[in-house]
Structure 1
Amino acid sequence: MSTDVLTLTQLLSPSFPVGAFAYSHGLEAAIDAGLVGDGLSLQDWLETLVSQGSAYSDAVFLNAAYAAPRPEVAAIDMQARAFAASRERLLESDLQGAAFCDTLADVWGLELGRLTYPVAVGRAASELDIDPHLTTALYLQAFVGNLCAAAMRLVPLGQTGGQLVQAALKPLCLSVAERTKGAILADLYANSFLSDIMAMRHEKQYARVFRS
Structure 2
Amino acid sequence: MHATSLLRLLQLASPSLPIGAYTYSQGLESAIETGIVNDESSARAWIIESLGIVADFEAPVLWRLLKAFSARDLAAVTYWTERFVAARDTAEFRAETIQMGYSLGKLVADLKIADDTLLEILADQHEIPLPTAFACAATALAVPHHEALLGSLFSTIENQTLACVKSVPLGQVSGQRLLFSLHPEIEAASQRAQLLADDELSSWAPGLSLLSMQHEVQYSRIYRS
Q: Which residue of 2 aligns with 1:174?
A: 187
Q: Which residue of 1 aligns with 2:75?
A: 71
Alignment of 1:106 with 2:119, yes or no, is no
Which stretch shifts more, 104-113 or 195-204? 104-113
Kept in 1, the 8 Å contact 2:57–2:203? The answer is yes
Task: Please give the root-mean-square deviation of Cα atoms over the aligned residues, in Å.
Answer: 1.7
- TM-superposed deviation, 1:182: 6.2
State the distance in 1 between where 2:191 and 2:133 align: 20
Q: Which residue of 2 aligns with 1:149?
A: 162
Alignment of 1:135 with 2:148, yes or no, is yes
Supply the AA of the counterpart residue of 1:58. Answer: E
Q: Which residue of 2 aligns with 1:25?
A: 26
* Identity within the alignment, %: 30
When the two structures are aligned, how many residues end up with a matched partner?
Answer: 211
State the distance in 1 between where 2:200 and 2:142 align: 23
Question: Structure 1 residues 50 and 27, CA, compared in 2 at 3 Å: closer, same or farther?
Answer: same
Q: Which residue of 1 aligns with 2:50?
A: 49
State the distance in 2 between where 1:136 and 1:183 align: 14
Secondary structure of 1:30's counterpart equals: helix
State the distance in 2 between where 1:172 and 1:208 align: 29
TM-score computed with the length of structure 2 as normaliser: 0.87
Secondary structure of 2:38's counterpart equals: coil
- The match for 1:122 among 126, 135, 143 is 135
- TM-superposed deviation, 1:56: 4.0
- TM-superposed deviation, 1:12: 1.1
Question: Structure 1 residues 8 and 109, CA, compared in 2 at 3 Å: closer, same or farther?
Answer: same
Q: Which residue of 1 aligns with 2:205?
A: 192
Secondary structure of 1:74's counterpart equals: helix
Question: Structure 1 residues 191 and 160, CA, compared in 2 at 3 Å: closer, same or farther?
Answer: farther
State the distance in 1 between where 2:224 and 2:181 align: 27
TM-score computed with the length of structure 1 as normaliser: 0.92
State the distance in 1 between where 2:160 and 2:113 align: 30
Question: Structure 1 residues 84 and 57, CA, compared in 2 at 3 Å: closer, same or farther?
Answer: same
Alignment of 1:211 with 2:205, yes or no, is no
Q: Which residue of 1 aligns with 2:58?
A: 58
Supply the AA of the counterpart residue of 1:61. Answer: V
Secondary structure of 1:181's counterpart equals: helix
Secondary structure of 2:48's counterpart equals: helix
